[in-house]
Amino acid sequence: MIRPITYTYKGRPLAPFGSQKSPRTLRRRKAIRSAIRTGLCVLAVLAVFAALGWWLSSCFRSGEAPAEENAAVPADAAVLPEETQSEVRPEAEVPKKTPPATAVATPRSVEEPPARLSESADRQALRIYSSAASAFQKKDYENARKALRLFFEKLQVPPGHPLYDRACAMLSDSSLAIYRSGSDPSAWKIHKVERGENLSRIARKYGIDVPTITEVNQLTGTSLRIGQTLRIPQGSWRIRIERKNRRLLLDNSGRLFKIYPIVTGPEGDGTGTGVYRIRRQQTPERILLYGTSSSAPAAVIRAQGDDSGSGRAGFSMKAEDLAELVLLIPEKTPAEILK
């Protein structure tokens, strides 16, 4: 067997020709590898920033976050609000609010343009509305109502906004669905009739009137049987009338319950701001507002088209809205008139 020739120098074996690298070559190769790694890292960082910039620009162009593009929005405004992503217009295109015509009071001649939201607030309002519409479509009325309360109370979306009317209808349907189902413990209390009780005694016990108990429980007479269950409306109701925005806000237990559109005119302008107490009137159906020290009503809320007593200062609203409001609120509910 032939052994390979090994060259030695001063007793030390020498490496084969070409396998030994000089320190300068090693440093050069190390620097090249480091430069390649640094370049790749810089390219990766630039790619990340480019993707982030494209995402932000697409958000600003579309007016909504990409996560909300596929949110389910119901199609009918009366039952399920319509798709609104394609209907949101720039601030310059928000139409001015035109008050409805009425035979009772003439709307103000000087039309005040509604307040407008900023661009960021408008995008946030669209996201909140889309979330509420998605919950409403799934019949999750509680989460839909929570989102809509943010829409009205936190963002202060004014009348005339493209989403305002649909949001009002959805808030109304959600609140009434929760209220009538009895699932909200703050809205109802179940009373079991005991021996010796009648409607008058039960009404005095809970601080409401007999017609409210009769209408809510759909009673045909005044007779009760022992063990019968009655639904008693609960909660602290309060009315806020905003003359500037021409709307009536109904609160229950300190939270927004429903918004009603109203008509104000020269008669409403004569009613001073302040807190009043209401008294319901069944025939004709009206709501009378009394001051703290006055025996005569200071104002009246009547149905549109009700000409009787038109000389009295007050406001008018749709007949079906007035009938619903009379059924919901008890006597002596505070009503605050705002500017």
Q: Helix, strand, coil: what percent of the chain each, to 5?
A: 40, 20, 45
| Interior angle at CA 55, CA 54 and CA 57, nearest 5 | 65
Same domain, 177 and 77: yes
Whether 227 and 169 map to the same domain: the answer is: no
Q: What is the pLDDT of residue 58?
A: 78
Average pLDDT score over the chain: 75
The CATH code of the domain that includes 269 is: 2.40.440.10
Q: How far apart are CA 122 and CA 120, in angstroms?
A: 5
Q: Based on the fold, state whether residues 138 and 218 are members of the same structural domain.
A: no
What single string gives the DSSP state of each residue in 185-231? TTTEEEEE--TT--HHHHHHHHT--HHHHHHHTT-SSS---TT-EEE
Contact 147, 133 (CB under 8 A): no
> pLDDT digit string (tens) for 54-102?
888 777 765 544 343 344 434 343 333 444 444 434 444 444 444 444 4
* pLDDT reading at 304 higher than 50: yes
Asked if residue 156 and residue 251 are part of one domain, the reply reads no
Are 241 and 301 contained in the same domain?
yes
Q: Evaluate if pTM is beyond 0.75.
A: no
Q: Is the dihedral of CA 319, 78, 124, 92 positive or negative?
A: negative
Of 47-51, 265-269, 305-309, the range with the highest mean pLDDT is 47-51
- On whether residue 30 sits in a domain, the answer given is no
What CA–CA distance (Å, rounded) separates 274 from 336?
Answer: 6
Three-point CA angle 134, 138, 140, nearest 5°: 95
Give, to the nearest 10 degrees, the angle between helix 119-137 and helix 141-149. Answer: 170
Are 161 and 263 members of one domain?
no
Q: Which of 271, 274, 261, 273 lies closest to 313 in space, CA to CA?
A: 271
In a domain, 98, yes or no: no
Q: 295 lies in which domain range?
A: 237-338
Q: Are residues 245 and 135 in the same domain?
A: no
pLDDT attached to residue 315: 87
Are residues 227 and 248 located together in one domain of the fold? no
Residue 12 lies in a domain: no
Please indicate whether residue 107 or residue 140 has the higher confidence score (pLDDT).
140
Is residue 130 a part of any domain in this protein?
A: yes
**CA neighbor of 63 nearest in space, from 85, 82, 83:** 85
What distance in Å separates the CA atoms of residue 198 and residue 226, rounded to the nearest whole number?
Answer: 10
Strand partners, 275: 336
In a domain? residue 3: no
Closest CA to 79 of 173, 151, 177: 173
- Find the mean pLDDT for residues 260-272: 69
Neighbours of 210 (CB within 10 A): 15
- Cβ-in-10-Å burial (0-12, 13-18, 19+) of 295 comes to exposed
> Which pLDDT score is estimated for 2?
64
Do 151 and 79 share a domain, yes or no?
Answer: yes
Q: What's the domain count of the chain?
A: 3
Could you tell me the CATH number of the domain that includes residue 214?
A: 3.10.350.10
CB within 8 Å of 65: residues ≥ 6 apart: 59, 123, 127
Q: Which of 164, 182, 200 represents a domain boundary (last residue)?
A: 182
Q: Report whether pLDDT(248) > 80.
A: yes
| Predicted pLDDT at 85 | 42
Q: Are residues 332 and 256 in the same domain?
A: yes
Residue 241 shares a structural domain with residue 229: no
From 141, 167, 182, the end of a domain falls on 182
Q: How far is CA 214 from CA 190, 210, 217, 220, in A?
A: 14, 6, 5, 8
Does residue 321 form part of some domain?
yes
- The pLDDT of 230-258, averaged and rounded, is 86
CA dihedral 158, 159, 161, 164 (to 10 degrees): 100
Say whether both 195 and 295 belong to one domain. Answer: no
> What's the confidence (pLDDT) of residue 83?
42
Residue 226: how many other CB atoms lie within 10 Å: 10
Q: What is the pLDDT of residues 150-196, one digit of tens each?
A: 999 888 888 888 889 999 999 989 888 887 776 666 667 889 999 99
Angstrom distance (rounded) from CA 28 to CA 339: 80
User: What are the backbone dihedrals phi and psi of residue 233, each rounded to the nearest 5 degrees, phi first?
Assistant: -60, 135
